[in-house]
Amino acid sequence: MPKKGTKSKKVVDDVANEQENKLPDYLELQRTRVVCNADAPIHTLGFQYSGAFAAMGVDNSVSVEKFCKNFKVEINRLTEDDIEFDMIGVDASIANAFRRILIAEVPTMAIEKVFMADNTSVIADEVLSHRLGLIPLDADPRLFDYISENDVPNERNTIVYKLHVSCPKGSQRITVKSSELEWLPEGSQLSMASSAQSGDKQKTFTSFSKSQKQILEKPLGVKFKDITIARLGPGQAIELEAHAVKGVGKVHAKWSPVATAWYRMLPEVVILEEIKGDNAEKLVKKCPVNVFDIEDLGNGEKRAVVAKPRACTLCRQCVMKDDGQKIELRRVRDHFIFTIESTGALPPEVLFTEAVKILEEKCEKVISELS
């Protein structure tokens, strides 16, 4: 069987190669896993320095090629507004950079200025404005520019919404929902008081040169139609105009494009010593998320096995007391289960690519500053 012969030779070669530069098991464990003991996790820091194992002839550096070879993404779930994926072969510092950018630096549109024409409701102007700011808008921020202090609001940097509701005298109390916000593609309809005397075309708070309907493919609205904005009693009314602009989450959380974005490291549950019989049953019962299962060994013998390590929440029930010493909880250091919940302006997969682009831009900026 020549085929088998070549194969086994290759295996031998690989082993020889590996032996040259392989870390002892306990160091390899420290390098690739965080071990979660009953009292506290250990080896949390890992080894970042490229020369950490130079004395042993092991290269700890990560070249770009090595990174590209090892990096993997697996999508577990993708819906309209959330995504869960596994990001494998990346350091926590990079994964965390993506997370931080998602929360604080990917831009969205949110209501920033509110012009009150009338508000006789019980909710104060500033509280009402704040509530309006937090409403997620269904507008793609990539189609708009940032507006700066001295800019005139125009069709490229501002979205105008109108809210005009009143509760007639003698009727029931009404609830004002976000669906009542009406998009004004032609810009503001409120005229500025100072320019009232000057001629034909009244000056408003925005200067749109054309309708936003011409720029955008779909009409703008709010993402969720059933957010309560205020409640009006008989005879009360609200009339206002809200101007939404582009911004980022680090200025105000209303601009954050995600409800939240988080990751957790892949759990690894290892049974160091066999757990049998009643103890196995006990262990299975102890875990609230059913990580363990029972394997029948025949002739009435039972043994505990790890069935769903991914579900482990690290509650540490299983390593307390009894058979605690026989189990080790670990986390895989370079395997992240990343979850992004979008608030609706952009789909979650687009948010992630935008976040990565932003990190690239940051690098580019610093490089050009240094050159």
Per CB under 6 A, the list member of 316, 350, 358, 359 interacting with ligand SF4 is 316
String of contacts with other proteins for each residue 321-350, x by CB under 8 A: ----------------------------x-
- 71 interacts with other proteins by CB under 8 A: yes
Report which of 265, 258, 277 is spatially closest to residue 323, judged by C-alpha positions. 277
Q: Which partner in other proteins, ligand SF4, none is near 75 (CB below 5 to 8 A by kind)? A: other proteins
What would the two tokens of residue 24 be? 């002892």
Query: Looking at 103, 106, 269, 304, which residue binds ligand SF4 (CB under 6 A)?
Result: 269
Angle between helices 348-370 and 92-104 (to 10 degrees): 110
Q: Which does 357 bind (CB under 5 to 8 A by kind): other proteins, ligand SF4, none?
A: other proteins
Between 75 and 297, name the residue whose CB sits nearer to other proteins.
75
Report CA torsion sign: 244, 246, 250, 255: positive
**C-beta separation of 23 from 53 below 8 A:** yes
Site for other proteins in 13-52 (CB under 8 A): 48-51
Q: Which of 101, 167, 244, 271 binds other proteins (CB under 8 A)?
A: 101
The amino acid present at 309, given as its one-letter code, is P
In angstroms, the CA 359 to CA 371 distance is 19
Run of H or E residues at 94: helix 92-104
Closest by CA position to 204, among listed 164, 153, 144: 153
Q: Does 329 bind ligand SF4 (CB under 6 A)?
A: yes
The distance from CA 263 to its chain's CA centroid, rounded to whole angstroms, is: 8
Tell me: does residue 260 bind other proteins (CB under 8 A): no
SS3 category, 305: strand
Q: Does 340 bind ligand SF4 (CB under 6 A)?
A: no
Q: x/- contact string, 345-364, with other proteins (CB under 8 A)?
A: ----x--xx--xx-xx-xxx
Strand ranges for 191-311 from DSSP E = 228-232, 237-247, 258-271, 292-296, 302-306
Q: Which residues contact 59 (CB under 8 A, 6 or more apart)?
A: 21, 50, 53
Q: Which does 317 bind (CB under 5 to 8 A by kind): ligand SF4, other proteins, none?
A: ligand SF4
Chain contacts with other proteins (rule: CB under 8 A): 48-51, 59-64, 67-68, 71-75, 78, 85, 90-91, 93-94, 96-97, 100-101, 105, 349, 352-353, 356-357, 359-360, 362-364, 366-367, 369-371
